[in-house]
Amino acid sequence: MKKIILFLTMCLMTFPVKADEGMWFLMFIERLNHRDMEKMGLQLTAEEIYSINNHSLKDAVVQFNGGCTAEIVSREGLVLTNHHCGYGAIAELSSEEQNYLKNGFWAKDKSEEMKPKSLYVRFFVRMDDVSKRILSKVNDKMTETERNKAIQQEMALIEKENNEGGKYTVSVRPFFEGNEYYYFVYQDYKDVRLVGTPPESLGKFGGDTDNWEWPRHTADFSMFRVYADANGNPAEYSKDNVPLQPKHHLPVSLKGVEENDFAMILGYPGRTNRWMPAGGIEQNVKFAYPAWVEGAKTGMDRMKVYMDANEKVNLDYASKYASTANYWKNRQGMIDALTKAGTAATKAKEETKFNAWANKRANKAKYGNVIATINNYYSQNNLKTTHDNYLTQLIRTATYGAAPANIGNTLIAYYKENEAKRQEMLPRVTQYIDGVYGKFHAPLEKDVFTAQLNLYSSKAAAYGLPESVAKLKEENKGDFTSYVNDAVAKSIFATKESVFAFMKDPKPENIANDPLYVVSNDLMTKIRAKSDAQLKADDDFAKAFRSLVEGLRESKMNSIKYPDANSTLRLTYGKVRALPVDKRNDAKVNNYTTMTGLVKKYKAGDPEFDLPARVLELNEAKDFGQYADKNGYMPVNFLTDNDITGGNSGSPVLNGKGELVGIAFDGNIEAMAGDVIFDAKLQRTISVDIRYVLWIIDKYAGAKHIVDEMTIVK
């Protein structure tokens, strides 16, 4: 029997299946993609996916808090997204006594749903092409500064024309490196409340070890609800607000998925760089990403010491740590994948061909110097990009890196104003200071700041350090421990309390000599500083890169018809598709995982692989209810070959009828080069099977009332 299963699996793997590259604009689906999608299994019209005048799928897909995607799954504004997307909000609502990250949370009714301080969802209303209008305002004789000014002015006019007096948020965005422009109209809802979340032991099962890996067994989901005023309009939080009645919500399918089933994902992918030149790829692999990885790991390691020792600190820093860890592993995966794939060499070959075409008589004036300009730019910026990535990780992981400068400069400006103006500014200044120190543990911050200064001053010195940092390095032989201890003991900016104490008896002249402010201000000045030569090089590069993309499209040497991702709504389509047989996965076909595999990974007490006792009990009893697969197992995660990236986290995975079958949450580390070059053989999207989501809500949590709210398709 095992031999038959293996044979069938290999047949599935060798059968010619094409992964569909592309993150497509919805307004072009009918013209560019609909026929192909129908052949693959789509049963919806283009109008049912994107319509301005009628409800469509796009009305059920929202951008979640600016960085993820989510979907509406009930007539009362119920929202599904990833656990890691809701992580910050869940941590904010948690306390040592009520730790919802650790223990989970399920509102028994709407009165128990909880509002985080800051959380919003963004609905997409419509989009349109304004390329001709904007590009008519520029010409080749303009400098980049003049060009950008003309474009920004026209963008502002377009945004004002379409926001209907402030009802909508309008964003005009460049595509194809500034060769095309589109505007997007959105509507934001700010009253979003937590409905439910599994405990971390399920929602983050596998932790950093399994992150970006397959096979996965993670319940990466959380649930929220959108509220509106009585007329369905966006409103600030109020007890009088009511659940939003959306234009469209997604039906939820219990039918499951099989190899070669059509799969469609709508979401807000954050950033791809499919047009990036070879020099940029090589720079990232050899200079930028190694510095990012080392800097991020330094910050994580110091944070973890204090988080493990104190539950309140763990909650306060959980979101910051998780975000740092996610990109730390992502960047290392990018280094490995881009190196293994030889992506820079592939791009270099394309650019060699382009350069030959560009230097033909008809093209030379416009494109002849493009490749030389681009290559020269990267070669001259390797040291800078190494420096900037070490410094960026210092600033991101150590509050003392940026906060003293930012707060200090805010206070300097504040004290220059007259008394009336200060009274007007005071609430904003106070709120800003509260926000900076809202989740702050001074011993942790001292340790992270010390470690990051030691690393930065050692690894980034070749580019040149800020004067104060270079002096302290020499005086302390590269060890900033004494400086940090002494500076924190004396500084206005050591804690929130010390800042407010200063404001009660201010001596503004003391800010400039504050020991934390001096270093922080020098660091922030350094990261922002650009010489006239650097500014000119940046302008020359921007023009050359724009011309490269234009020339590659004109010459048809690059046939990409979709623009790079930039957090605008896109559609990607493909199929459920297995990876080669993997002995770590108990599934018969390596395109899904099961609860059997989940329990096999279980390690009691392990922070990454522990499981709630109830999950073990339900699995032992095979109590899977209506959520079991027709073959008897309990599904957990599955694979498709959709083209996604960061920002697609939480995106709905839909079948050919537009029914929800899963929630996308990750990619596979073998395809980390996918942000730069699509690999049809390796590219996979990892999703939570919606049946596992519903099983946890119903069977594990006993919150069947939430399932009953959805439109279930059996």
Q: Is 248 a catalytic residue?
A: no
Instruction: Kindly give, in sequence order, each residue whose CB lies less than 8 Å from that of residue 443, ignoring residues fewer than 6 positions away.
Output: 306
CA–CA distance, 307 with 316 (Å, rounded to integer): 9
Nearest-angstrom CA–CA distance, 373 and 355: 12
The catalytically annotated residue of 84, 217, 387, 441 is 84
Q: Kindly provide the b/e burial profile for residues 270-292, where b requires at least 16 CB atoms within 10 angstroms of the residue's own CB.
A: bebebbbbbbbbbbbbebbbbbb
The pair of structure tokens assigned to 494 is 């050591």
Query: For residues 571 and 269, is the Cβ–Cβ distance under 8 A?
Result: no
Instruction: Say if residue 234 is preceded by a cis peptide, omega within 30 of 0.
Output: no
Cα separation values, 22 from 15, 574, 675, 698, Å: 22, 10, 11, 36
Active site residue 649: yes
Which letter, b or e, does each residue of 601-610 get, where b requires 16 or more Cβ atoms within 10 Å of its Cβ? bbeeeeebbe
Catalytic residue among 457, 491, 649, 651: 649
Between CA 565 and CA 575, with CA 571 as vertex, the angle to 5 degrees is: 115
CB-based contact 205:218 (threshold 8 Å):
yes
CA distance 669 to 680: 14
Q: Does the annotation count 547 as an active-site position? A: no
- Which one from 20, 59, 210, 220 is the annotated catalytic residue? 220
Spatial distance between the Cα atoms of 239 and 675, rounded to a whole number of angstroms: 43
Cα gap 494→437, rounded to integer Å: 10
Enumerate residues 6+ apart whose C-beta is below 8 A from 324: 296, 299, 300, 303, 396, 397
CB atoms within 10 A of CB 343: 22
Rounded to whole angstroms, the Cα distance separating 197 from 181 reads 39
Residues recognised as catalytic: 84, 220, 649
